[in-house]
Amino acid sequence: MGKQVSCPKCNKTFNANSWRVKCRNCGTVWDTYEKKIPSCFPAGTLIETPHGVLDIAAVKEGDHVLAFDPRQAALRTRRILKVCKHEQSRIWEIGFTDGSRIRTTAIHSFRVAGTWKQARHVGECDDVCGLDASGQMATRQVASSSPTTDVEEVFNLIVEGEFSFVADGVVVHSFSYFKALRVLWWTVYGALRGWLHGTNREGAEHVLAQQCAQADCFVSASLRQNSRLQRFSYRCS
């Protein structure tokens, strides 16, 4: 029978047998199952960079943005490892008491009261970490948080280091689920890529050695011994 769904644009209801659905009435395509909802922002969302703001649809892999360091409660300049693009996702909107708002998807993680909270769980009077008009760290109080009927193309940024960035003046995370595991994977990936490209070689060796020690990663061992990838040779005694 499938699952009964309702089109976010024309509200026509029908049964769907997959997570990606196309409305039989207006042709709108969207993701229906929660586990498939991406954590992203629509075009027009402004991302803080060291040189000003930039539309999220215009940023590219390798660009630098401002990330939030929770240990020091300060901003850092970090490189974008990957720009993710998703089609036709339902938009969630959070409004603040200062009149500003941010449009996102239901599961994107925001920095709220020292922790990470998905947009759908952000409630009235929550204090969201962000920037004030002068670019200094501040909090914004939530006035409203609710889904919209808008369905748009959305984007997400995987940012090295703290895996966070500042979107429309508020601090958000690159990941919504399995944060620790995905941070580990992308940290190792970024360090290894930096080593292979010959950039930040010393820093890459340090990160690889730390992140991969428990797995006895031969990559980090090779870096420590010879500063280049090589195979281990074994001798039978």
Q: Can you give the CATH number for the domain in which 139 is found?
A: 2.170.16.10
Q: At what angle do helices 179-196 and 201-212 cross, to 10 degrees?
A: 140
Is 49 among the domain residues? yes
Q: How far apart are CA 78 and CA 92, in angstroms?
A: 27
- Report the C-alpha gap between 212 and 218 in whole angstroms: 9
- Are residues 65 and 163 both part of a single domain? yes
- Closest Cα to residue 187, out of 78, 111, 58, 108? 78
- 86 and 116 co-located in one domain: yes
Is residue 173 within a helix (H) or strand (E), and if so which, with residue range? strand 170-173
Give the end of a domain, one of 134, 149, 176: 176
| 81 and 131 inside one domain | yes
Where in the sequence is the domain holding 149, given as residue range(s)? 41-176
CB neighbourhood size of 61 (10 A): 11
- Which of 138, 161, 176 represents a domain boundary (last residue)? 176
Residues 119 and 144 both lie in one domain: yes
Low-confidence ranges of the chain (pLDDT < 50): 1, 33-35, 213-237
Please write the tens of the pLDDT for every residue from 22-75: 888 888 876 654 445 677 999 999 999 999 999 999 999 989 999 999 888 899
Verify that 142 and 217 share a domain, yes or no: no
189 shares a domain with 154 = no
Q: Which amino acid type is present at position 125?
A: C
Both 21 and 93 in one domain: the answer is no
The predicted pLDDT at position 24 comes to: 81
For residue 121, is it within any domain? yes
Say yes or no: 210 and 106 in one domain.
no
Residue 83 and residue 10 share a domain? no
Query: Considering the domain boundaries, does residue 231 fall inside one?
Result: no
Q: What is the pLDDT of residue 21?
A: 74
The answer on 156 and 130 residing in a single domain is: yes
Same domain, 105 and 189: no
24 backbone dihedrals φ, ψ, rounded to 5°: -75, -10
C-alpha to C-alpha distance for 99 and 218, rounded to whole angstroms: 53
Q: Are residues 75 and 111 in the same domain?
A: yes
pLDDT at 227: 42
Cα(173)–Cα(210) distance, integer angstroms: 23
Q: Both tokens of residue 134?
A: 């002068």
User: pTM of this prediction?
Assistant: 0.69
Domain boundary residue, one of 154, 176, 198: 176
pLDDT at 149: 87
Indicate whether 126 belongs to any domain: yes
In a domain, 187, yes or no: yes
The confidence score (pLDDT) of residue 134 equals 84
Please count the structural domains in the chain: 3
Q: Is residue 135 part of a domain?
A: yes
